[in-house]
Chain A
Amino acid sequence: MSINKHRNILDYTLQSLLRRKFKNTGIILVFTFVIFIVSSIILLSYSLKKEAGLMLKYSPEIIVQRMLAGRHELVSTWIMTTILEIPGVSKVEPRYWGYYYDSGIKANYTIIGIGDSGIENNRLIKGRMPSAREKNVAAIGKGIADARIDIGDSLNLQNSEGKWMGFKIVGIFESDSEILTADLIVISEGDFKMLVKMPEDTATDLAVYVANETEIPTVARKIKERFPDSRPILRDEIIRTYDAVFGWRSGLILTLFAGALAAFIILAWDKATGLSAEEKQEIGILKAIGWETSDILEMKFWEGLVISLTSFMCGVILAYLHIFLLGASLFAPALKGWSVIYPDFKLVPLIDFYQIAILIAITVLPYIASTIIPSWKASITDPDTVMRG
């Protein structure tokens, strides 16, 4: 009996919503748009943040840079033995990397010189990596391959003396690793030194490996004490940098949309709280034919729930499609900036349900409340007065 009553009220609510379909469709469209924007930002920033955390946890525990006059300078490889003597340090390796500006396509590449990479049979590399002693071969990121060349082709780079060096492409990083490798050119250590004319016994920076994670800050402090001109960068700092970047980015986009959000809140408030004469009359008639105040409140509750939940679900579904299937096409220009080489965002749908729950709490619940309160005011008034307006 009781379930039937609720079903009948819900049925009446849906009929009543259909009677005012233009007004309700308008609210649903605007509501859906706002939810779409906010949840797109939430999904994008959370997914990127998680992805960064998962990928960067494999980077070296400490990177040691040398600073000269406040700028990053080449580091002497002689200090590696001293760092290796610090208790807790398991391995120290020089890193050879830098940037190359390709004036042909006006793009910046990241060039890495490697020793023996040890990467074999990796499904994410089409072809292979250059080996330590191999000359004039390179593996490149998909961004560069899309912009310029393919396996077997030759990539010409100008060295610091202005002479051209040709590199045969032997490998291309596949798209699944693109967010880490899109702009990389990996060549052998010897080729890198020749290309940039790097002085002997120097490296771009040093990668320091520490076996016990709890010892990382102590090791970094000791490095700084022994080499005051060094700047140790901890892996935690790297991950925190990305947390801050994505937090800031999502905050910035949310700020840009704050105007639209405010406009929606005003619209929703106006539509939901201001009962029209017709609606007031409807409440009066329902009361006159025997509806209880609780029945009217239940009807208004269903009305608010149907509108806000429909909009919420449409907004979240569209946001999911936008971020994870269409590669965040609306936000990508802001992320890319002036970059010529950039990855196609194929994000993994890592979703923070806590944030989605908060979004429900700040959108669906206030909307329901704002529809119930004025109806409650109308329904406790005498039906005759309400019907007369």
Chain B
Amino acid sequence: MTVLYIHSLIVISEHHTSRKEIKEIAEKLQLTDLVLSTDARYTRHPSQADLFSAFQDFPGSIEHFPTGSIIPPPDFSYLRTKIKTDVN
């Protein structure tokens, strides 16, 4: 375990040295997402996707892509609360 701890410290310190370069790439290319899966638009850029993009054909349609199923559903806790709007 001590060996692994020392290994982790070495890797982290090496990573810190490349952090500046990674920062420059993310900043200059204005990147917003990680490349975790590239099979669909909404799994490549989850943060930029349409709010309902996991169900593109119709609501409740079966998910096409395996990775889509490991993207969480939206927070529905607001349902059944009254919404007041001021109409001018």
Contact = CB atoms under 8 A, between A and B. Distances in A.
Contacts of A342: 35-38
Interface in B27-63: 27-41, 43-50, 52
Interface size class of B (residues with CB under 8 A): 35 or more
A343 B18 CA distance: 17
Contact of B25 (A181, A248, A249, A316): A181
Given A56-B32, A112-B29, A238-B32, A339 B21 contact: no
A107 B35 CA distance: 13
Interface residues of A, number: 75
B85 to A, nearest CB: 14
Given A70-B50, A205-B48, A336-B37, 13 more contacts: A52-B34, A59-B32, A110-B44, A122-B24, A180-B26, A183-B38, A233-B48, A238-B47, A244-B72, A245-B36, A247-B72, A335-B67, A350-B12
A117 B50 contact: no
Given A63-B48, A247-B72, A248-B70, A176 B39 contact: no
Given A233-B48, A334-B70, A336-B67, A114 B8 contact: no
Contacts of A273: none
Interface in B1-35: 1, 4, 7-8, 11-12, 15, 18-19, 21-35
Contacts of B7: 324, 349
B31 A59 contact: yes
Given A248-B71, A337-B43, A351 B8 contact: yes
A320 B35 contact: no
B29 A117 contact: yes
